[in-house]
Amino acid sequence: MEMSRRVFTREFKQAAVNELKSGKPLGFVARRLEVSANTLSRWRRELEKQPTKAFSGHGKRMLAESREAELERKIGQQSMEIDFLKKLVRSFEEQQELGNGSGPSTRKSAKKTSR
Written as tens digits, the pLDDT of the chain (115 aa) is 556 677 888 888 889 999 999 999 999 999 999 999 999 999 999 888 887 777 766 555 555 667 788 888 899 999 999 999 999 999 999 999 988 765 555 555 555 555 5
CATH T-level assignment (fold) for domain 1-61: Arc Repressor Mutant, subunit A (1.10.10)
Cβ-in-10-Å burial (0-12, 13-18, 19+) of 98 comes to exposed
Helix (H/G/I), strand (E/B), else coil: 22: coil
Please report, in angstroms and rounded to a whole number, the separation of the first and last CA atoms in the chain. Answer: 78
For the entire predicted model, the pTM comes to 0.45
Give whole-number Cα distances, 69 to 7, 77, 82, in Å: 16, 12, 20
